[in-house]
C-alpha cells in the first residue's frame, strides 16, 4: 500500500484545479485527519492503470521493492516471446559488419570513424533500453532500469553482484561471468576526458571503443563479452550508465546529430510478438527527455525542460526515494496526466506549471501503488544452453584487412572471409585443440578435435550458408578463445 505522510512543495508558478490531487503549501502542518484523508485519496487512485516514464538512478539508490521488481521483470521477460533473448540475438546478428563481405551493411557497432553514415551506437542502445523498460513497466509501472557506475563501483564483491540482485542470474542463466579477469574498468579520469571531447562523433567513438563502454563488457566476461551481451541483465545497468554519459555530454554541448535518419530494428519493419516496433529517427532521441527519462544522482532528481505528453503512457510516473524537484520548464498541459512520487521530498520550483484541466499528483509514497503484498523474488532457471558464446569485445578490431586474417588470442586464423576452408596456426605446439563453429544464435554447427599439432585445416565448410559465424577454440583443455569468421 502507498503511505501518504507529508508533502513539501515550493509553489511559485502553479495553475492548479480540482484535478490536482495533493497540494500542500510549503511547510504546512498536517493534522491526523488530513493524513487519513490523503491516505483514503491514495487508495482511490490505485484503480488507475499506469505505465510509467521514469527516473533512472544508481542501483545503490533503489528501494528494496524496486530491486525485487527489477529482478522479477528480468525473469518474467524470458517468457511470452523471450524479449531478453530477442534483443540479444538481434544485437548479435547486427553487431558489426566492418570486416565482412558486406562491410557497408547497416550494423550497430564500430562504425566510427570510417563509416559515419552508418553510425547509430548511442541512439540504438537508448531505444533498446527504452523498449525493455517499457516491457518492464507493463509488469510494474514503478520499474526503471538503474545504472551501474563502473568508474567507481569496481569490486567483484560489490552489492551489485549480491546473489539476491544481479548475482543470481549467473547461476540461473549460465552466464559464465569471470569478474575482473579480462581487463580494467574505466577510471574517473577516463570519464572526464571523454566528456571533454567537443565533437559528437569523436565523443561517441571514444566512448564506445575505450574503457567507459567496453571496459565493463570485458571485466564482467562470459555473456557480457559476447555479441549477445544483452543476455546478461547487467548489460542493461551498464548501458543505462553509458546512456547517462551521453545525456551528461549533450546537456553541455547540445550538438548530437546523426547522418542516418533510420535504425535497424527501429525502422518500422521489425516485429516482436506480433507487434510492429515503431520507426525511430536517431536524431529525434538525442535528448533522453524525449522518452520522459531523467537521471538521478546523489539523492537528487531534477525534472526540467519537459512537457508531459502521455505519448507512451496514460500516466507518466516519476518515482525516486530521495528528493525530486520539478521546475524550469516542467509542464503538465491540459488533458495530460502525471504523477511525481518520493518517499521523502517533492519540491515544485519556479518554472513548474500544471495547467487547468491537467491531472497531476505529487505524493509521498513507497512505490507500491496497487500492490497488495510485499513482493518476493520469483526466480526461474532458463539457461542459455551454451548459446552465449564468449567473444572478446575487441574481436572485431583484431582483423588484418590486408592478410584477411583474424586472431583468436595467439592463434592465427585465415582466410577470413573464407569460402570452403579455414587455416589455424599456433606459435607453439598445442597438446589438444577443440575447434567449434557456432551460428550467431549460439547453435553449434561443427566440432573438431586435434592433438599435438602446430596447425589445423578445416576443409569441410562449403556447406555453410553465407554469413557471420563464431569460431571457438579450446586449447589444451582450458583457455577458450573466440573470434568472428565470415563465410562468403
Q: What is the pLDDT along the chain (488 residues), one digit of tens a residue?
A: 333 333 333 332 333 333 333 333 333 333 343 333 333 333 333 333 344 579 999 999 999 999 999 999 999 999 989 999 999 999 988 998 877 778 889 999 999 999 999 999 999 999 999 999 999 999 999 999 999 999 999 999 999 999 999 999 999 999 999 999 887 999 999 999 999 999 999 999 999 999 999 999 999 998 998 888 999 999 999 999 999 999 999 999 999 999 999 999 999 999 999 999 999 999 999 999 999 999 999 999 999 999 999 998 899 999 999 999 999 999 999 999 999 999 999 999 999 999 999 999 999 987 666 453 557 788 888 887 544 444 433 433 333 222 333 444 456 777 878 888 887 776 555 567 788 888 877 788 888 877 766 567 787 888 898 888 888 877 776 555 667 788 88
Task: Work out the burial of residue 108: count CB atoms within 10 Å of its CB; fewer than 13 is exposed, 13-18 middle, 19 or more buried.
Answer: buried
The answer to whether residue 23 sits within a structural domain is no
Predicted local distance difference test score (pLDDT) of residue 373: 54
What is the C-alpha separation between 425 and 435, in angstroms, rounded? Answer: 13
Do residues 89 and 215 both lie within one domain?
Answer: yes
Do residues 275 and 413 both lie within one domain?
Answer: no
The answer to whether 471 and 413 have CB atoms below 8 angstroms apart is yes
Do residues 277 and 407 both lie within one domain?
Answer: no
Do residues 142 and 274 both lie within one domain?
Answer: yes
**Which DSSP letter does residue 184 get?**
P
Do residues 281 and 412 both lie within one domain?
Answer: no
pTM of the full structure? 0.74
Q: Find the DSSP H helices in 24-158.
A: 32-45, 64-76, 83-93, 121-139
What residues contact 39, with CB distance under 8 A and at least 6 apart?
Answer: 2, 3, 4
Over the range 391-423, which residues count as b (16 or more CB within 10 Å of their CB) and which as e? bbbebbebbeeeeebbbbeebbbbbbbbeeebb
The answer to whether residue 453 sits within a structural domain is yes
Cα–Cα–Cα angle for 291, 292, 298, rounded to 5 degrees: 125
What is the C-alpha separation between 451 and 409, in angstroms, rounded? Answer: 19
The answer to whether 131 and 277 have CB atoms below 8 angstroms apart is yes
* The last residue of a domain, from among 285, 306, 325: 285
What is the C-alpha separation between 291 and 308, in angstroms, rounded? Answer: 10
Predicted local distance difference test score (pLDDT) of residue 55: 98
Look up the domain containing 406 and give its range.
398-487
CATH number at residue 184: 1.10.1280.10
Predicted local distance difference test score (pLDDT) of residue 401: 29
The answer to whether residue 349 sits within a structural domain is no
Would you call 4 helix, strand, or coil by DSSP?
coil
Predicted local distance difference test score (pLDDT) of residue 452: 61
* The last residue of a domain, from among 246, 266, 285: 285
The answer to whether residue 167 sits within a structural domain is yes
CATH number at residue 444: 2.60.40.3080
Predicted local distance difference test score (pLDDT) of residue 478: 59
Predicted local distance difference test score (pLDDT) of residue 97: 85
Task: Work out the burial of residue 31: count CB atoms within 10 Å of its CB; fewer than 13 is exposed, 13-18 middle, 19 or more buried.
Answer: exposed
Residue 217 in grid coordinates: 563488457
Do residues 70 and 216 both lie within one domain?
Answer: yes
Predicted local distance difference test score (pLDDT) of residue 415: 82
* The last residue of a domain, from among 226, 258, 285: 285
What is the full DSSP assignment across 406-444? Answer: EEETTEEEE-SSBSS-EEEEEEEEEEEEEEEEE-TT--E
Do residues 139 and 272 both lie within one domain?
Answer: yes
Do residues 256 and 403 both lie within one domain?
Answer: no
Q: What is the pLDDT of residues 293-350, one digit of tens each?
A: 999 999 999 999 999 999 988 999 999 999 999 999 999 999 999 999 999 999 999 9
The answer to whether residue 270 sits within a structural domain is yes
Q: What is the pLDDT of residues 99-118, one digit of tens each?
A: 777 888 999 999 999 999 99
Do residues 403 and 264 both lie within one domain?
Answer: no
Predicted local distance difference test score (pLDDT) of residue 33: 38
Predicted local distance difference test score (pLDDT) of residue 426: 66
Do residues 65 and 187 both lie within one domain?
Answer: yes
Would you call 324 helix, strand, or coil by DSSP?
strand
Do residues 412 and 281 both lie within one domain?
Answer: no
What is the C-alpha separation between 54 and 69, in angstroms, rounded? Answer: 15
The answer to whether residue 7 sits within a structural domain is no
Predicted local distance difference test score (pLDDT) of residue 226: 85
What residues contact 470, with CB distance under 8 A and at least 6 apart?
Answer: 227, 389, 391, 437, 438, 439, 440, 482, 483, 484, 485
The answer to whether residue 344 sits within a structural domain is no
The answer to whether residue 131 sits within a structural domain is yes
Predicted local distance difference test score (pLDDT) of residue 484: 78
Do residues 131 and 278 both lie within one domain?
Answer: yes
Q: Number of folded domains in the chain?
A: 2
The answer to whether 42 and 363 have CB atoms below 8 angstroms apart is yes
What residues contact 179, with CB distance under 8 A and at least 6 apart?
Answer: 156, 161, 219, 220, 221
| Rg of the chain taking only CA atoms, in angstroms | 25
Amino acid at each position: 500500500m502507498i503511505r501518504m505522510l507529508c508533502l513539501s512543495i515550493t509553489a511559485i508558478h502553479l495553475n492548479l484545479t480540482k484535478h490536482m490531487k495533493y497540494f500542500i503549501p510549503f511547510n504546512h502542518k498536517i493534522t491526523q485527519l488530513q493524513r487519513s484523508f490523503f491516505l483514503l485519496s491514495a487508495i482511490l487512485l490505485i484503480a488507475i492503470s499506469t505505465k510509467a516514464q521514469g527516473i533512472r538512478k544508481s542501483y545503490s539508490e533503489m528501494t528494496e521493492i524496486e530491486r525485487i521488481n527489477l529482478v522479477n521483470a528480468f525473469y518474467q521477460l524470458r517468457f511470452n516471446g523471450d524479449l531478453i533473448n530477442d534483443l540479444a540475438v538481434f544485437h548479435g546478428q547486427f553487431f558489426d559488419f566492418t570486416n565482412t563481405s558486406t562491410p557497408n551493411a547497416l550494423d550497430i557497432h564500430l562504425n566510427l570513424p570510417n563509416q559515419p553514415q552508418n553510425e547509430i551506437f548511442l541512439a540504438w542502445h537508448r531505444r533498446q533500453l527504452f523498449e525493455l523498460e517499457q516491457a518492464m513497466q507493463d509488469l510494474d509501472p514503478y520499474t526503471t532500469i538503474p545504472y551501474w557506475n563502473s568508474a567507481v563501483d569496481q569490486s567483484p564483491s560489490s552489492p551489485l553482484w549480491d546473489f539476491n540482485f544481479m548475482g543470481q542470474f549467473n547461476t540461473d542463466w549460465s552466464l559464465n561471468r569471470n569478474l575482473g579477469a579480462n581487463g580494467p574498468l574505466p577510471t574517473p579520469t577516463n570519464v572526464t576526458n571523454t566528456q571533454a571531447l567537443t565533437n559528437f562523433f569523436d565523443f561517441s567513438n571514444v566512448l564506445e571503443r575505450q574503457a567507459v563502454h567496453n571496459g565493463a563488457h570485458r571485466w564482467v566476461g562470459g555473456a557480457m563479452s559476447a555479441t549477445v551481451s544483452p543476455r546478461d541483465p547487467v548489460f542493461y545497468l551498464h548501458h543505462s550508465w553509458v546512456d547517462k554519459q551521453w545525456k551528461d555530454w549533450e546537456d553541455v554541448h547540445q550538438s548530437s546529430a546523426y547522418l542516418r535518419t533510420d535504425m535497424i530494428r527501429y525502422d518500422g519493419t521489425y516485429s516482436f510478438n506480433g507487434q510492429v516496433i515503431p520507426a525511430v529517427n536517431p536524431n529525434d532521441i538525442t535528448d533522453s527527455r524525449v522518452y520522459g527519462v531523467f537521471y538521478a544522482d546523489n539523492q537528487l532528481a531534477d525534472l526540467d525542460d519537459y512537457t508531459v505528453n502521455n505519448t507512451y503512457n496514460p500516466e507518466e510516473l516519476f518515482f525516486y526515494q530521495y528528493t525530486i524537484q520539478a521546475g524550469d520548464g516542467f509542464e503538465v498541459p491540459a488533458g495530460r496526466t502525471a504523477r511525481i512520487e518520493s518517499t521523502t521530498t517533492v519540491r515544485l520550483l519556479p518554472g513548474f506549471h500544471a495547467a487547468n484541466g491537467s491531472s497531476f499528483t505529487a505524493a509521498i509514497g513507497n512505490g507500491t501503488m496497487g500492490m497488495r503484498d510485499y513482493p518476493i523474488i520469483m526466480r526461474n532457471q532458463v539457461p542459455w544452453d551454451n548459446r552465449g558464446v564468449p567473444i572478446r569485445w575487441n574481436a572485431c578490431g583484431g582483423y588484418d584487412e590486408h592478410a584477411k586474417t583474424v586472431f583468436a588470442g595467439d592463434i592465427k586464423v585465415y582466410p577470413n572471409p573464407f569460402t570452403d576452408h579455414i587455416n589455424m596456426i599456433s606459435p607453439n605446439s598445442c597438446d589438444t585443440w577443440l575447434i567449434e563453429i557456432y551460428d550467431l544464435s549460439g547453435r553449434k554447427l561443427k566440432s573438431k578435435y586435434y592433438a599435438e599439432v602446430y596447425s589445423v585445416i578445416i576443409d569441410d565448410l562449403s556447406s555453410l550458408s553465407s554469413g557471420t559465424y563464431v569460431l571457438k577454440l579450446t586449447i589444451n583443455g582450458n583457455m577458450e578463445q573466440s573470434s568472428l569468421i565470415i563465410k562468403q
